[in-house]
Structure 1
């Protein structure tokens, strides 16, 4: 009995750390303040559309700055870089409408797919007061009705997660709202440290060994 405890206890401890690590990875936090989001993240990549000329079309499935866009709009005509509205850089992302408008209509939205998994995403939306939006990822979602601006005339929506995700969807939940996107921020997930992988692999090996020893003991007693 004592010999069995001597090898089971270390593996039990290793397994505990491994599963605690997995549990920690499921945690996500949401933000409607860009300053709080910035304080909680490091290594952000910023897409503010300043490197693209006004009038540049963004067709369905096209990639700009490591972001691949899929638009969900009534017109179904994709996106456009526009200089007609408030932004950080002088240009922003809008949607192509059938009448020539260069902004998203109510209930319009888009999905961005990242070139590599990320652990944070933040989106600014240039909106009128009273507009409700939802930012959704596999790690969690954040929504709000923008009645107080985060900065200029922008609302902000952000998500951080220890579990990497590969895409984010942003859309309006108001029929009569319009908006454009002045900036998207994201943080690429770090590669797990070798020591972390080693601990988890050792833990799972220990679990298999425990099951094997238990099975052998059962067979001897049968």
Structure 2
């Protein structure tokens, strides 16, 4: 009986030892399988380098985008500055042209004030020289007045002074004539010049003094 129990114990122990050996072997196999899937040191370094390259590339792309954005902004600013420059240049040219035109006009009409001031005394000389007299001495004076008036008139005409046309029977023009009086005349249409009371003048193309006239109504 005791011998039989000992044999059974020996068998059970052998089975347990065998089970342990099997489990140990399975563990070794699992370890080997796991080693096959563990990355090597070289693989880890390669993966790290790839990651670094991707990060570096991403940073470079961001930098390129920023630089391109700055370039576009500079282009826009340059275009805006050029447009402002061209506008300022055009304004300057316009101002220069106006200044030159005004200078030409000023030179053209520089003597207009003096000419205008001389018209009245010249008219007085002309009227005085037209007086009729029987006195020989007075006639000589009047001839002298006429000569002086003619000389001054010639100088003024050479500088651009002209008499305004205001002939009897011509239509009244409010741009160059001034109606001093009106009179009804049979057979004459309204608005016709009946008489020139005072000569009018233009200096070049500017009106200095309108002709004073009597007009029909």
Q: Which has the higher contact order (CA 8 A, sep 6+)?
A: 1
Structure showing greater radius of gyration is 2
TM-score bucket (shorter structure): under 0.3
More strand by share: 1
Normalising by structure 1, what TM-score?
0.23
